[in-house]
Amino acid sequence: MADQNIINLKERGGSPLNLRKYINIGLFLIILIAGLVLFFTNVFIVKEGEYKVIRQFGEVVRIVKEPGLTYKIPFVQSVTTLPKYQMTYDVSQAEINTKDKKRILIDNYTIWKIEDPKKMIANARNLGNAESRMEEFIYSVVRAELGQLNYEDIINDEKSSRGSLNDRVTEKVNELLANDEYGIVVTDVRMKRTDLPAENEKSVYTRMISERESKAQEYMSMGDADKNVIIAKTDQEVQEILAKAQADAQAIRGEGEGEAAKIYNESFSKDQEFYSMFRTLESYKKTINGKTVIVLPSDSPYARLLMGYTE
């Protein structure tokens, strides 16, 4: 058959050497293209913030953690990617009992990351299973911690223990994850909100309102008692001040009257007749009113004085 092709080629004026040359070039190009395709499909880039997991027949043989260019063996190895950065996971809402037997709904979220991809794959297989196990541990620890606190201590911002509670939960969850070698680390666990179940909410709010009203009444009674004490003390101080003021006024008035009497005596002793007249006029001022009728002889000194006689 080959000889026939050569004969046909010769009849068309071709050469067997040229044919072989074209065949070799074609094979080379095919091999080159196949090699390039094989190369580019088995060389890959590791980016920042990711792990590249290389498996051979399903088993992990290598994990590339540093960014850069790397490779895998064709046909027998495969590559998967795991996140290296921190991730946020919303923990499912759960119902727990507090120390004072209140049922509350808690809603948490956690920040976590993969620290050892090989352990994570070996024990959790994938991200979904890792998050499920992490959620179980978080629920268990939160239930145990909140079970030691009263409901009021959990919701009261002034006495809230959430700060230290979050730290304790984070620490204990990491201990459980490390013991089971899941290869993941929880950076933080935070409580987004705490609510009462719908069937308990109204009764608890009613009781809280009653307690607040009772406390308000207690404060008002204490205020009234303090007010009465202050009023009584003030009244006593006012009475003491008034008594002292009256005593001081009496003393000052006595001193003034004594000084006035002294001045009168000194003045009147200089003119006995004027003093006698002044005393007479003073007596008239006290004994005579608008209805008094006085009969005086015409030669009376007082009558002469009233009528304008000075001699």
Q: Does domain 87-202 have CATH number 3.30.479.30?
A: yes
- The pLDDT, as a whole number, for residue 157 is 47
- pLDDT of 73 over the 90 cut: no
pLDDT in tens, 1-43: 444 444 454 445 445 667 787 788 888 888 888 777 777 778 8
The domain segmentation of the chain, as residue ranges, is 2-83, 87-202, 272-311
What is the mean predicted confidence (pLDDT) over 195-210?
A: 72
Other beta carbons less than 10 A from residue 37's beta carbon? 10
Element (H, E) at 291: none
Instruction: Provide the pLDDT for residue 114.
Output: 96
pLDDT grade for 231, boundaries at 50, 70 and 90? very high
Rg value, the chain, Cα:
57
The pTM of the full predicted model, rounded to 2 decimals, is: 0.56
DSSP string, 240-280: HHHHHHHHHHHHHHHHHHHHHHHHHHHHHTT-HHHHHHHHH
Angle between helices 272-287 and 198-268 (to 10 degrees): 140
Q: Which amino acid is at 3?
A: D
